[in-house]
Chain A
Amino acid sequence: MSALGPVLDVVGAVLVVLGALLALAAAVGLLRLPDVLSRMHAATKPQTAGLVLVVLGTALLLRTSADVWMLLLVGAFQLITAPVTAHLVGRLAYRSGGVRPDLLHRDDLAGRERPGPE
Protein backbone atom coordinates (compact mmCIF):
# COMPACT_ATOMS: atom_id res chain seq x y z
CA MET A 1 0.00 0.00 0.00
CA SER A 2 2.75 2.43 0.84
CA ALA A 3 4.52 1.60 -2.41
CA LEU A 4 1.30 2.38 -4.23
CA GLY A 5 1.00 5.85 -2.65
CA PRO A 6 2.94 7.99 -5.15
CA VAL A 7 1.29 6.24 -8.09
CA LEU A 8 -2.16 6.97 -6.65
CA ASP A 9 -1.11 10.59 -6.09
CA VAL A 10 -0.16 11.04 -9.74
CA VAL A 11 -3.26 9.23 -11.03
CA GLY A 12 -5.48 11.40 -8.82
CA ALA A 13 -3.73 14.58 -9.95
CA VAL A 14 -4.15 13.57 -13.60
CA LEU A 15 -7.89 13.03 -13.01
CA VAL A 16 -8.16 16.49 -11.41
CA VAL A 17 -6.34 18.05 -14.39
CA LEU A 18 -8.72 16.29 -16.81
CA GLY A 19 -11.70 17.67 -14.89
CA ALA A 20 -10.21 21.16 -14.98
CA LEU A 21 -9.65 20.92 -18.75
CA LEU A 22 -13.29 19.88 -19.16
CA ALA A 23 -14.28 22.95 -17.16
CA LEU A 24 -12.15 25.13 -19.45
CA ALA A 25 -13.74 23.61 -22.57
CA ALA A 26 -17.16 24.29 -21.10
CA ALA A 27 -16.23 27.88 -20.34
CA VAL A 28 -15.08 28.45 -23.92
CA GLY A 29 -18.29 26.85 -25.19
CA LEU A 30 -20.36 29.00 -22.87
CA LEU A 31 -18.74 32.09 -24.34
CA ARG A 32 -18.92 31.15 -28.00
CA LEU A 33 -22.09 29.14 -28.56
CA PRO A 34 -25.11 30.99 -29.94
CA ASP A 35 -28.23 30.24 -27.89
CA VAL A 36 -29.39 29.12 -24.46
CA LEU A 37 -29.80 25.44 -25.27
CA SER A 38 -26.36 25.01 -26.82
CA ARG A 39 -24.77 27.01 -24.00
CA MET A 40 -26.50 24.71 -21.55
CA HIS A 41 -25.19 21.73 -23.51
CA ALA A 42 -21.69 23.12 -23.01
CA ALA A 43 -22.16 24.11 -19.38
CA THR A 44 -23.54 20.84 -18.07
CA LYS A 45 -20.37 18.91 -18.92
CA PRO A 46 -18.24 20.20 -16.02
CA GLN A 47 -21.22 19.94 -13.73
CA THR A 48 -21.35 16.17 -14.08
CA ALA A 49 -18.37 14.64 -15.86
CA GLY A 50 -15.78 17.20 -14.81
CA LEU A 51 -16.93 17.29 -11.22
CA VAL A 52 -16.98 13.50 -10.97
CA LEU A 53 -13.44 13.38 -12.37
CA VAL A 54 -12.28 15.94 -9.80
CA VAL A 55 -14.10 14.06 -7.03
CA LEU A 56 -12.40 10.79 -7.97
CA GLY A 57 -9.01 12.45 -8.25
CA THR A 58 -9.31 14.16 -4.89
CA ALA A 59 -10.55 10.95 -3.28
CA LEU A 60 -7.53 9.09 -4.69
CA LEU A 61 -5.22 11.76 -3.26
CA LEU A 62 -6.79 11.97 0.20
CA ARG A 63 -7.39 8.24 0.85
CA THR A 64 -9.01 8.72 4.26
CA SER A 65 -12.36 7.07 4.79
CA ALA A 66 -14.52 9.99 6.01
CA ASP A 67 -13.31 12.39 3.32
CA VAL A 68 -13.69 9.85 0.55
CA TRP A 69 -17.30 9.14 1.49
CA MET A 70 -18.10 12.83 1.75
CA LEU A 71 -16.59 13.45 -1.69
CA LEU A 72 -18.54 10.54 -3.16
CA LEU A 73 -21.67 12.11 -1.63
CA VAL A 74 -20.88 15.33 -3.47
CA GLY A 75 -20.47 13.45 -6.74
CA ALA A 76 -23.67 11.45 -6.32
CA PHE A 77 -25.66 14.52 -5.35
CA GLN A 78 -24.37 16.42 -8.35
CA LEU A 79 -25.29 13.52 -10.64
CA ILE A 80 -28.83 13.61 -9.24
CA THR A 81 -29.43 17.37 -9.23
CA ALA A 82 -27.70 18.58 -12.39
CA PRO A 83 -30.29 16.95 -14.73
CA VAL A 84 -33.13 18.49 -12.71
CA THR A 85 -31.77 22.00 -13.17
CA ALA A 86 -30.95 21.34 -16.81
CA HIS A 87 -34.51 20.12 -17.41
CA LEU A 88 -35.99 23.23 -15.78
CA VAL A 89 -33.74 25.56 -17.76
CA GLY A 90 -34.33 23.74 -21.03
CA ARG A 91 -38.10 23.82 -20.66
CA LEU A 92 -38.06 27.50 -19.76
CA ALA A 93 -35.72 28.28 -22.65
CA TYR A 94 -37.98 26.49 -25.13
CA ARG A 95 -41.11 28.21 -23.87
CA SER A 96 -39.75 31.68 -23.66
CA GLY A 97 -38.05 31.79 -27.03
CA GLY A 98 -34.46 31.29 -25.94
CA VAL A 99 -34.07 28.66 -28.67
CA ARG A 100 -33.13 29.54 -32.21
CA PRO A 101 -35.32 27.31 -34.39
CA ASP A 102 -32.97 27.60 -37.37
CA LEU A 103 -30.31 25.75 -35.36
CA LEU A 104 -32.52 22.73 -34.59
CA HIS A 105 -32.36 19.74 -36.89
CA ARG A 106 -35.81 18.73 -35.81
CA ASP A 107 -38.26 20.04 -33.27
CA ASP A 108 -40.34 17.33 -31.67
CA LEU A 109 -42.32 19.86 -29.67
CA ALA A 110 -43.28 22.00 -32.64
CA GLY A 111 -46.91 23.08 -32.35
CA ARG A 112 -47.39 21.18 -29.15
CA GLU A 113 -45.61 22.96 -26.34
CA ARG A 114 -45.50 26.50 -27.63
CA PRO A 115 -49.02 27.81 -26.95
CA GLY A 116 -49.19 28.81 -23.34
CA PRO A 117 -49.15 26.96 -20.01
CA GLU A 118 -49.96 23.28 -19.79
Chain B
Amino acid sequence: MSTAAVLLTVALGVLGLSLLLVTVRFLRGPSALDRLVSLDAIVAVVMCGLMAHVALTHDSATVPVVVAISLVGFLGSSTVARVVGRRGSAGGDGNGDEER
Protein backbone atom coordinates (compact mmCIF):
# COMPACT_ATOMS: atom_id res chain seq x y z
CA MET B 1 0.00 0.00 0.00
CA SER B 2 1.35 3.39 -0.92
CA THR B 3 1.44 6.35 1.44
CA ALA B 4 -1.47 7.99 -0.34
CA ALA B 5 -3.60 4.85 -0.01
CA VAL B 6 -2.91 4.63 3.72
CA LEU B 7 -3.79 8.30 4.21
CA LEU B 8 -6.99 7.95 2.20
CA THR B 9 -8.05 4.88 4.19
CA VAL B 10 -7.52 6.86 7.40
CA ALA B 11 -9.60 9.68 5.91
CA LEU B 12 -12.42 7.25 5.10
CA GLY B 13 -12.35 5.99 8.68
CA VAL B 14 -12.51 9.51 10.08
CA LEU B 15 -15.39 10.34 7.74
CA GLY B 16 -17.27 7.25 8.86
CA LEU B 17 -16.86 8.23 12.51
CA SER B 18 -18.10 11.76 11.82
CA LEU B 19 -21.05 10.39 9.86
CA LEU B 20 -21.97 8.35 12.92
CA LEU B 21 -21.76 11.37 15.25
CA VAL B 22 -23.79 13.58 12.89
CA THR B 23 -26.43 10.87 12.61
CA VAL B 24 -26.71 10.81 16.40
CA ARG B 25 -27.52 14.53 16.33
CA PHE B 26 -29.97 13.93 13.49
CA LEU B 27 -31.87 11.34 15.51
CA ARG B 28 -31.69 13.27 18.78
CA GLY B 29 -32.09 16.87 17.57
CA PRO B 30 -34.75 18.59 19.63
CA SER B 31 -36.10 20.81 16.85
CA ALA B 32 -36.68 20.39 13.15
CA LEU B 33 -33.97 22.95 12.43
CA ASP B 34 -31.40 20.87 14.30
CA ARG B 35 -32.36 17.95 12.10
CA LEU B 36 -32.10 20.14 9.02
CA VAL B 37 -28.61 21.34 9.96
CA SER B 38 -27.43 17.83 10.67
CA LEU B 39 -29.00 16.60 7.43
CA ASP B 40 -26.91 19.16 5.57
CA ALA B 41 -23.85 17.92 7.43
CA ILE B 42 -24.75 14.31 6.56
CA VAL B 43 -24.93 15.23 2.87
CA ALA B 44 -21.57 17.00 3.06
CA VAL B 45 -19.91 14.08 4.83
CA VAL B 46 -21.33 11.59 2.32
CA MET B 47 -20.00 13.72 -0.53
CA CYS B 48 -16.56 13.85 1.12
CA GLY B 49 -16.64 10.08 1.57
CA LEU B 50 -17.57 9.46 -2.06
CA MET B 51 -14.75 11.70 -3.22
CA ALA B 52 -12.27 9.99 -0.91
CA HIS B 53 -13.42 6.69 -2.38
CA VAL B 54 -12.88 8.06 -5.90
CA ALA B 55 -9.40 9.16 -4.89
CA LEU B 56 -8.63 5.81 -3.28
CA THR B 57 -9.74 3.62 -6.18
CA HIS B 58 -8.85 6.03 -9.03
CA ASP B 59 -12.24 5.10 -10.45
CA SER B 60 -13.91 8.31 -11.61
CA ALA B 61 -17.31 6.72 -12.33
CA THR B 62 -18.60 8.08 -9.01
CA VAL B 63 -17.78 11.73 -9.74
CA PRO B 64 -21.14 12.48 -11.48
CA VAL B 65 -22.87 10.98 -8.44
CA VAL B 66 -21.20 13.61 -6.28
CA VAL B 67 -22.43 16.36 -8.62
CA ALA B 68 -25.98 15.00 -8.45
CA ILE B 69 -25.88 14.72 -4.64
CA SER B 70 -24.71 18.31 -4.30
CA LEU B 71 -27.60 19.56 -6.47
CA VAL B 72 -30.27 17.42 -4.82
CA GLY B 73 -28.92 18.13 -1.34
CA PHE B 74 -29.29 21.88 -1.82
CA LEU B 75 -32.82 21.53 -3.25
CA GLY B 76 -33.85 19.24 -0.42
CA SER B 77 -32.54 21.32 2.44
CA SER B 78 -33.89 24.63 1.10
CA THR B 79 -37.31 23.05 0.51
CA VAL B 80 -37.37 21.57 3.99
CA ALA B 81 -36.37 24.97 5.39
CA ARG B 82 -39.35 26.61 3.69
CA VAL B 83 -41.74 23.91 4.88
CA VAL B 84 -40.45 24.22 8.44
CA GLY B 85 -40.80 27.99 8.26
CA ARG B 86 -44.36 27.80 7.00
CA ARG B 87 -45.36 25.33 9.64
CA GLY B 88 -43.85 27.53 12.32
CA SER B 89 -42.95 24.64 14.58
CA ALA B 90 -39.23 24.99 14.28
CA GLY B 91 -38.26 26.20 17.70
CA GLY B 92 -38.38 24.91 21.21
CA ASP B 93 -41.26 27.08 22.41
CA GLY B 94 -43.23 27.06 19.16
CA ASN B 95 -44.61 30.56 19.51
CA GLY B 96 -45.99 30.44 16.00
CA ASP B 97 -43.86 32.92 14.12
CA GLU B 98 -44.48 32.20 10.48
CA GLU B 99 -42.31 32.93 7.51
CA ARG B 100 -44.40 34.94 5.07
Contacts and interface: CB of A to CB of B under 8 A. Distances in A.
Interface in B15-48: 15, 17-22, 24-25, 31, 33-34, 36-38, 40-41, 44-45, 47-48
Nearest to B31: A98
A107 interface: no
Contact of A13 (B22, B25, B55, B85): B55
Contact of B91 (A21, A30, A73, A98): A98
A62 B55 contact: yes
Contact of B44 (A47, A64, A88, A92): A47
A111 interface: no
A60 B23 CA distance: 30
A20 B12 CA distance: 8
Contacts of B64: 70
A10 B7 contact: yes
Contacts of A78: 44, 47, 70
B24 A31 contact: yes
B67 A13 contact: no
Interface residues of B, number: 62
Contact of A46 (B8, B41, B74, B88): B41
A71 B48 CA distance: 11
Contact of B21 (A28, A51, A66): A28
B56 to A, nearest CB: 9
Interface string A72-112: 01100110011011001101110111100000000000000
14 contacts: A12-B4, A13-B3, A14-B7, A16-B51, A23-B48, A62-B60, A67-B54, A74-B66, A82-B40, A84-B78, A92-B33, A92-B99, A98-B34, A118-B100
Given A10-B7, A36-B34, 15 more contacts: A16-B7, A17-B8, A31-B24, A46-B45, A51-B44, A61-B55, A62-B55, A70-B66, A77-B70, A85-B74, A92-B84, A95-B90, A96-B97, A98-B33, A116-B98
- Counting from the closest, the 5 A-B pairs by CB-CB distance are A97-B91, A96-B91, A27-B18, A13-B7, A27-B21
